[in-house]
Chain A
């Protein structure tokens, strides 16, 4: 880990030097205008699990450490200091100590201290005096025993057992430090942070406004005077508004592949970057009830899936085939093709796979004239329904007759939780491209976001094992082993990973889209307007 630590520190220094070198080019002033796609449920990042909250409010806060806003890929070596000036592990690798920046103030003028760090994590663990209304990522900190302080400028995270990737979770935009003296209800409506921009107003269905924090502890930043995010629900209207120059930037990955063609035609000067969303289309399979309590039926279903067909139909060939972790080349833990091919349903010829699937089903007594009737449940939203319809068509190939059951969104998770489904078409978004976030959230036994309650002691053990490994190559090997087991268990078979584009006009400078997460690059302190 020391190697990683030194590498990160050196990179942080290099980024700092780089900043000094290019500081003269940046023009201060102006308002950065980004459109927002919908009204976020609240402004409290810790209580939400959507980029709708993350994008507008990440700039209000700081983390202890953060993924380098100027580096394209999020990985352990692109973690840089934020509120912390440095960090160090003890010899047992269970104590992580952060030295904190001096003179940092909350937007209301109160001083930031190590007590704020302590109470933020106590709140996330459900131990603090303040209680969050929702706490969707509590599982991230399952290994955290306590946070201790040593004076106002030093905080130590004490872990139950070594967890090399703990730092990755702290670097996510989802892990800002909250102010002890502001209650969670106020954080939902008028958040107070230490970040480059102060909260000004949040009018549902209308606008979110932030203003430059003149007392920001990173001297000279941010560059723009204000950020204005007008909320436009209708996608056609907001794209037209961007093309008309009403906005400097689109919402994160708002431009789907089919829409991108029109964008390029109507706004040829706009810069559009197509990147993975780290949102996978996947299947949830009820393994506790017939017929999918039978491993053979599950295997047959895995063999019926033609992932390329999904990608060709739904994303004009731009999606990616992969496992639970984001595929290569952008994903930090993506499986190389030779590993991917080893997994059931991924390798070989689709027709041959399906023939094998049919044989299994015929062995179980099913045929074209006597198919297995299966209900495919999904949310009543196009991005869920469309792949479900394709799945139904593909299942016919192995004597399964699917029936689509659309479920009203508010009832979806409750239905899944009470296991009232056979197969569900699901979407899973991941904030941090690290197994300690993705695999722990979605496949570990105690996670609230593990909707299927999948619980395999072997996977649990492997998840814990990879978490302690510091060598990236060794860690990847264990992660790929987990992928193999998850696929064999049909825990949540991944169909494909989607891609979409974010666009901005050439006068927007200093913005770098992260390629393996849409949640961690919205600090916006480096963005400036060349006009």
Chain B
């Protein structure tokens, strides 16, 4: 019997114009691994919430949802609590108690399990998740990745049969996210637990999934094996492509972008093998030079920009207190006027500290820093900026106290909302916005201050792939208007595709810097997936589109 079955479910939130789910038919077999993807606001969360009794949203509901053949709403509370586990987005908000061990025991305490059994099950899970070393720690001392792992573990101790995860890695950095996915994969493979996960970051989970469901406007468009999803989304022509196509892993995009048919590769390894095969086959066919000509496109537009530097940091040293280590050591950085620069690097290496120093929030102990123009920084968490109850007021608040006339203020705010594409939300409460919309509103607040230099801290965190494209467009426009952007990021693919110059941050300083293409070409591991797949044959192709363009003539 199916673990979960949706039969013809239509659901609308109260006062909403359009239903959030439309005629959804969906089922999950025992031990299946299902990935649900789609734009933000397409109904993923609503779908997942219908699978857990106490989280079912309030509204008009038609159809039926059954768990193991039984109506979800009629499920016994105790059974629902223990057999269906639900992990939410935010790692912090789900943790209830102050100690790791107590958090793990929380669910079992609720179920009334005796302490001896709790001790044993907690021990088992702590070993499975490898959290013995921080078992007795305070939860406030954990990193974001550890917190989310703890949330998962504290659900796993209840021995669920179905695990539902709603964008669990949106707040995590790529390395922590990778760890998290591998653990989920293990849970599915080694314990046979059914997993349903909604995700934007398909690069990792795509290869793990048995089925991928693509949602759009409350409907499930397709639910099929990952190898076949790409073909469905690609369509016949480029214009025919479903927007969700751009969210697919690079390998799949290259495969379909190049116009190949058949079973799509899902991992870098498979991608490399496929490319090798394709190139060999093409060589045999042509028995001559075919591929190597393709280098002119990348090397073409290399005009020297000799714009003056607006940020010039020389020999910066900083540490938080006397006894701690240097966070910045001998940092050199130059950002030119009108350019968009990204600083990449690992976790907790001091990238954010660098931004704070440049922003003037903290003073370096040594070195010189010269800046021209007004600097404004967009913090990582947009919620930290919101004070008002409507989006429009939120933006007007920034202009409070300036000498502009009221009409002028309103005009600027309206313009800003248009630029960011949030004009239809002008009367919504900032907390009701989705992650991407919140980010846009926060950006709007910062931009109304009319900065010359904009500092961004992880602007793509938690955003869906479509909004990333929009964001890139907005930022590019700012650069063209002569504003300068400096951002720190983990998002290699985004930087490779849109940014002018990239720099690598390591050990307190910038170790290498260059034009985005140049920069990634020089790296061997720290580069885009597309480049890792194709670097043997097309070393100059960095983004998936470039690789796909190189491969297309070979097919």
Partners in one complex: no
